[in-house]
Structure 1
Amino acid sequence: MRRSLPPITCRVSDTLIARGHHGLIVTVPDSAADPAETAHAMEVAPGALVQAHVFLLGDDPILLLVSAAHRVDAASTGARLDGELVAAPPHLAVKYTGQLPGSIAPLGHPANLPTWVDSALSRFGELVAAGGYPGAVFRTTYSELLRITAGLSLDVE
């Protein structure tokens, strides 16, 4: 059965296309409820899943695109960014991205957020990122992710 994608996912797809990506977003089975199951469904290593997290660097929102294989060390990552880094509360993540935490896409937000991309993602030939809605994902590469987000590479471990 074919499911239509919600408007937020269409906006992500349109943004992908505008930035030179093919824009194909797919849905994972409902049974893929956690990162390991999503990675299995998409036939990639769990570390190749891109998780988008909104943080506050001082008072300014930023986006960190991080490998699902590890967590952000806010103290050391904040030091690399020359500021105090704090995870944004869920209501601010929704405000800045228009998307729910856990399904935030790397792009397609109301305004572009300064973006840093976990250098650990460079170890994988293919990445899978959220498409802005639960269960929606798209494939990309590390270099393409840097390009389409205007992101900068950063060690977040």
Structure 2
Amino acid sequence: MSDAAAERTHPAVERVEAALLAAGVEPRVRWFASATPTAASAAAELGVEVGAIANSLVFTIDGEPLLVMTSGAHRVDTAFLGERLGGRIRRADAETVKAATGQTIGGVAPVGHPQPLRTVVDVALADYPEVWAAAGHAHTVFPTTFDELIRLTGGEPTPVEPPLL
């Protein structure tokens, strides 16, 4: 295997690709030369609006893992979202993220986890015909849609921050 090919494989990415295939989605993972661990860096690399980046953020709700797929243009208001979901939300630490997803912060995908995770999907992502999510590694993303993201994750569409008045 060449060095270039070696850079294009990773166990977490392979699990994401397998999960997409199992769901009937052709995996179109895009690899970047540099890590794109933030919505802004991924958007710049792709040439898209930051809002079209589907950030995968792991929290806990009453001690259980919660995956929040949020638009890169938003910050999750944990008090607001916790009230909507009926629990107390806290940011998960790196160990919790890895245990829940099998992936590390900066590359967490919406799929390919050891077990299904309770997931919410920011309704703001519906504003974009195509959204991009991490594919299990900080150097990877894949294109999807809001509706497909809901289907793939079994996620609840919900706002993640209060509306502006």
TM-score (norm 1): 0.94
For residues 154 and 64 of structure 1, what CA distance do their matches in structure 2 show?
10
RMSD: 1.4
**Equivalent pairs, count:** 157
Corresponding position: 1:138 with 2:142: yes
Shift, 1:34, TM fit: 4.2
Q: Name structure 2 gaps, 5 residues minimum.
A: none
Counterparts of 1:6-155 in structure 2, within 5 Å, are: 6-30=10-34, 32=36, 34-155=38-159
Question: Given that residues 28 and 42 in structure 1 are in contact (C-alpha distance below 8 angstroms), is that contact kept between their aligned partners in structure 2?
Answer: no
For residues 12 and 34 of structure 1, what CA distance do their matches in structure 2 show?
19
Amino acid at match of 1:91: E
Question: Given that residues 43 and 49 in structure 2 are in contact (C-alpha distance below 8 angstroms), is that contact kept between their aligned partners in structure 1?
Answer: yes
Runs of 4+ in 1 over 4 A off after TM superposition: 31-34
Q: Name structure 1 gaps, 5 residues minimum.
A: none
Shift, 1:147, TM fit: 0.6
For residues 122 and 100 of structure 2, what CA distance do their matches in structure 1 show?
20
- Identify the range of structure 1 (60-69 vs 74-83) with the bigger mean alpha-carbon deviation: 60-69
For residues 64 and 32 of structure 1, what CA distance do their matches in structure 2 show?
18
Query: CA 1:17–1:31 in 2, change beyond 3 Å: closer, same or farther?
Result: closer
Question: Given that residues 44 and 127 in structure 1 are in contact (C-alpha distance below 8 angstroms), is that contact kept between their aligned partners in structure 2?
Answer: no
TM-score (norm 2): 0.89
SS of the equivalent of 1:78 reads helix
For residues 51 and 30 of structure 2, what CA distance do their matches in structure 1 show?
19
Shift, 1:29, TM fit: 3.2
- Identify the range of structure 1 (146-155 vs 24-33) with the bigger mean alpha-carbon deviation: 24-33
Query: CA 1:115–1:34 in 2, change beyond 3 Å: closer, same or farther?
Result: closer
Q: How high is the sequence identity, in percent, across the aligned residues?
A: 36
Aligned residue among 8, 29, 45 for 1:4: 8
